[in-house]
Amino acid sequence: MCNDFLYTLLDSMSVSGHEIGLQKKVISEMEPYCHEIRTDYTGNVVSILNPQAPFKVMLAAHIDEIGLIVTHIMENGLLRVGKAGGVRPMTYPGHQVLIHGENGPVCGTVIYDREQEKKELKVGDLYVDIGAKDAADARKYVQEGDPIHPNVHPQQMANNLLSARAVDDRGCAFIILEALKRAKERGCGIGVYCVTTVGEETTGRGAYWAGSSIRPDVAITVDVTFASDYPGTDPKDSGDVRLGGGPVLCNSSIGNRKINALLKDCAKKKHIPWQIESYMGDTSTDADCLHQTGSGVVTALVSLPLRYMHCPSEVCSLDDIENSIELLAEFLCTIGPNTDLNPFHE
């Protein structure tokens, strides 16, 4: 497992709608390992193994992150902001941020009106101070539409845990790309299409474009899920999910039971720990778009347990990342055109 590439993903800017810079790094990393790399006009990158193989499995993980967007520059030089995805406004005050302007990153600090102290903060209550004297001075550095993210960096914690910004979902983008590399080493013969999708946090457009274009036989979305091992969470909501417990398989109305069964068999064969969560209806991941593309796609969801989702610093387990890579690599080397995916067959 190449932690340098993981840290490159986690330390880069990819606020939803501004993913191309990071996608170029994905292309640079994956070119030596793929038989073909495709891009599309919405910004997806597709890393492909065995493009001539008739049986195709698509792995999808979104490359975009939540963040803020400059919406207005005040006369006093402070910035007003909107949201790109499901930010939690109460977690932003006091944090240092980076605003990515046309001429490069600009440092700022998030503040709020003290009159809001006893009220529930909304994104519209936040301001960003970049040190500008006035609006004209601020416009030398930033403009409306510039993306903003917390200025935090990956840090390894005790017990092989990792704290970083936007593990959701660059940690999972790393998982699918490393799984392709490992499957190739083991002689995988099916068509593997690893898509780092754009826009999941805001529109879901990337998954729809990719699924419609590739038309895979099977699609697995890899995203994060809520761990239930920290204050304010409850296992009764969807299951007992813990950091270090392994990748999480989703029992849902979307998830294909035969694919889940095959994933469990692969986990048992390789002695990989795994966990279960249950959701009915939409999963709030790329799986929701993917399983409805074309004439329908056999779809499953594999998740990385995560603490503090959509906060400036999220926490995951490096062991769970490694086990997720190993599970998916084994799955890619096991499934094939003769795998029976018909739910009416016992």
* Helix 3-10, helix 20-30: angle, nearest 10: 170
Question: Cα 222 to chain center, whole Å?
Answer: 8
Residue 212 structure tokens: 């419609």
Read off φ and ψ for residue 52, nearest 5 degrees. Answer: -85, -10
| 200 classed as catalytic | yes
Q: In what order do the strands lie in the sheet with 314-317?
A: 155-156, 161-164, 314-317
- Residue 126's CB is within 10 A of a number of other CB atoms, namely 24
The two structure tokens encoding residue 172: 């999972």
Q: Where are the beta strands (DSSP E) in the chain?
A: 36-39, 45-49, 56-62, 67-73, 79-84, 96-101, 104-112, 126-129, 147-150, 155-156, 161-164, 191-197, 218-226, 248-252, 275-279, 298-306, 314-317
What is the DSSP pairing of strand 79-84 with strand 67-73? antiparallel
Q: Which of 19, 200, 201, 314 is catalytic?
A: 200
Helix orientation angle between 257-269 and 318-334, rounded to the nearest 10 degrees: 110
- Rounded Cα gap, residues 11 and 269, in angstroms: 35
What is the token pair recorded at 160? 């092989």
Which residues have a catalytic role annotated?
A: 200
